[in-house]
Structure 1
Amino acid sequence: MIERVLPEGVEAAEHTGAPPPVPLHPSEEAGVADAVPARRAEYAAVRGCARTALRRLGLVDAAVPAGPDRAPVWPAGIVGSMTHVDGYRAAAAGRAQAWAGVGIDAELHAPLPPGVAPLVMSDDERAALAGTDPALCPDRVTFSAKESVYKVWYPVTRAWLGFEDVDVRLGDGTFVARLGRAGLGTRVLHGRWAVGDGLVVTAVALARG
Structure 2
Amino acid sequence: MPVEPEFRDDSSSVQLVAAVRQLVGHGLVVEGGDLTPADRDLLLEEELSLGNVVPARRREFRAGRFYARQALQGLGAGGSVIPIGDNRAPVWPTAIVGSISHTRSLCVVAVGSSTEFLGVGIDIEEDSPLSCELARLVSDAAELEGREEIERGLGCDLPKLLFVIKEAFYKMYFPLTGRFLAFHDVRIELDVEKHAAKAWIVPSKHLAAIDSRCFEGRFGSSGGTLFSCFELSAR
TM-score by length of 1: 0.92
Q: Does the Cα contact within 8 Å between 2:35 and 2:63 map onto a contact in 1?
A: no
Matched, 1:52 2:52: no
The residue type equivalent to 1:69 in the other structure is N
Cα drift, residue 183 of structure 1: 5.1
**Deviation sequence 1:99-144 (CA, Å, 0-9, x none):** 1100000001011123111111111111143421253222211110
Cα distance in 1 for partners of 2:71, 2:39 equals 17
| Structure 1 position 86 matched with structure 2 position 104 | yes
Query: Using the alignment, how far apart are the partners of 1:168 and 1:24 within structure 2?
Result: 38
Counterpart of 2:158? 138
Provide structure 1 residue ranges, at least 5 long, that are not aligned to the other structure: none
**1:150 and 2:170 correspond:** yes
SS at 1:195's partner residue?
strand
- Change beyond 3 A, Cα 1:17–1:112: same
Question: How far off is 1:32 after superposition?
Answer: 2.4
CA distance 1:137–1:18, change in 2 (3 Å):
farther
Q: Mean Cα displacement is larger for which, 89-98 or 35-44?
A: 35-44
Corresponding residue of 1:5: 23
What is the total number of aligned residue pairs between the two structures?
208
Matched, 1:168 2:194: no
CA contact (8 A) 2:37 2:66 kept: no
Which of 68, 92, 110 is the equivalent residue of 2:128? 110
Listed one character per residue, the Cα deviations across residues 62-97 of structure 1 (whole Å, up to 9, x for unaligned) are 111101221110000011100011110011110111
**SS of the residue 1:8 aligns to:** coil
Residues 1:196 and 2:222 are matched in the alignment: yes
Give the conservation status (yes or no) of the 8 Å contact 1:49–1:91: yes
2:10 corresponds to:
none
Give the aligned CA root-mean-square deviation in angstroms.
1.7
Give, in angstroms, the shift of residue 33 of structure 1.
2.8
Unaligned runs of 5+ in 2: 1-15
**Matched-pair contact (CA < 8 Å) for 1:142–1:170:** no
Q: Indicate the larger mover: 11-20 or 41-50.
A: 11-20
